Amino acid sequence: MINWFGRLTAGLKKSSDKLNAGIGDIFTKRKIDAATLDELEETLIASDIGYGAAAEIIKRFAAQKMSKDASLPEIKQALAANIAAILKPCEKKLEFPAVPTVILMIGVNGAGKTTAIGKLAHKFKDKKISLIAGDTFRAAAVEQLTVWGSRNNVRVFSGAPGCDAAGLCFDGLSEAVRQKDDIVFIDTAGRLQNKTNLTEELKKIVRVVQKSVAGAPHHVLLCLDAATGQNALDQVKIFTETAGVNGLIVNKLDGTAKGGVLVSIAHETKLPVYYIGVGEGIDDLTEFKAEDFAASLLGL
């Protein structure tokens, strides 16, 4: 069985291969100077790190005044440290401040919400957990969550297809309070930013959750598909306006060379990134650690 660092490095392989090839091309035969720094900045941007973060990384890197003869590994170490510094404010442990702690999972279609709930239920298997099938929109959604429920041996609260999602959340939360669950995960329908009816439904779910349990929702976790690249930033903005996002899970880092987008998200939003998804399996969700992520991104 591979350990979590192996999982992270394997998951980020596509991203690190791309970035490393770019950095290698620049510094294999040439030294650090203004021209190579410009090229380095372009390479960072091409790896979805974003303009703002790339500029800051280059600024820090230039300020270090490394020897012009620094080796490629030394250059990568220095870059990794600068990237880690940007990521660090987003490294935070998911906490459970209340019983029940209510966690609302939101995001666009296919961002990995339902899967992340299944993986998290497994991670916290020493707690009493229930799942609410708040995606009443897509036919197979309840079934998918039920499969994760039985895999983890936890209760799934669901209703008839097409039923009112907010009402279902109200009933599911009453049951969770009655059963003294430690954590309740609410799955929701995937919604594109421009679908007004689903946006209104999400607002209603948030209002109902707030009324049902004091202090809830304790976490509003936005799931992002890393392959979305820079569009992920728009999703953060719009979902924050709609539902008050206070944490992120970035999924599908294994399938894309756009893993650098996490640096961009960290730089622009400063939101906690609690977990990252590096595969479809139950164990393919790892805690986000700034230094480890930066090292893996640079293939160190």
Tell me which residues touch ligand GTP (CB under 6 A): 107, 109-115, 135, 138, 141, 190, 223, 251-252, 254-255, 277-280, 284
User: Which two tokens mark 262?
Assistant: 């996490």
Beta carbon of residue 27, minimum distance to ligand GTP (angstroms, whole number): 32
Q: 48: exposed, middle or buried (C-beta count within 10 Å: 0-12, 13-18, 19+)? A: buried
Beta carbon of residue 35, minimum distance to ligand GTP (angstroms, whole number): 38
181 binds, among Mg ion, ligand GTP, none (CB under 5 to 8 A by kind): none
Identity of the residue, 41 or 254, whose beta carbon is nearer to ligand GTP in the bound complex: 254
Beta carbon of residue 114, minimum distance to ligand GTP (angstroms, whole number): 3
Q: Give me the sheet containing 155-157, strands edge to edge.
A: 155-157, 129-134, 183-188, 101-106, 219-225, 247-251, 273-277, 285-287
Among positions 113-142, residues that touch Mg ion (CB under 5 A) are 113-114
Identity of the residue, 12 or 224, whose beta carbon is nearer to Mg ion in the bound complex: 224
Sign of the C-alpha dihedral, residues 79, 5, 252, 96? negative
Q: Which residue is nearest to Mg ion (CB)?
A: 114
Q: DSSP for 154-217?
A: -EEE---TT--HHHHHHHHHHHHHHTT-SEEEEEE----TT-HHHHHHHHHHHHHHHHHSTT--
* CA-to-CA dists, residue 198 to 7, 170, 190, 204, angstroms: 35, 18, 9, 10
Per-residue interface string for the shown chain with Mg ion, residues 98-117, x marking contact by CB under 5 A: ---------------xx---
By three-state DSSP, how is residue 20 classified? helix
Identity of the residue, 116 or 276, whose beta carbon is nearer to Mg ion in the bound complex: 116
Identity of the residue, 16 or 43, whose beta carbon is nearer to ligand GTP in the bound complex: 16
Q: Does residue 158 bind Mg ion (CB under 5 A)?
A: no
Q: Select from 42, 39, 117, 37 the least CA-distant residue to 78.
A: 37
201 binds, among Mg ion, ligand GTP, none (CB under 5 to 8 A by kind): none
Beta carbon of residue 253, minimum distance to Mg ion (angstroms, whole number): 18
Q: Does residue 82 bind Mg ion (CB under 5 A)?
A: no
The residues that touch Mg ion, with contacts defined as CB under 5 A, are 113-114
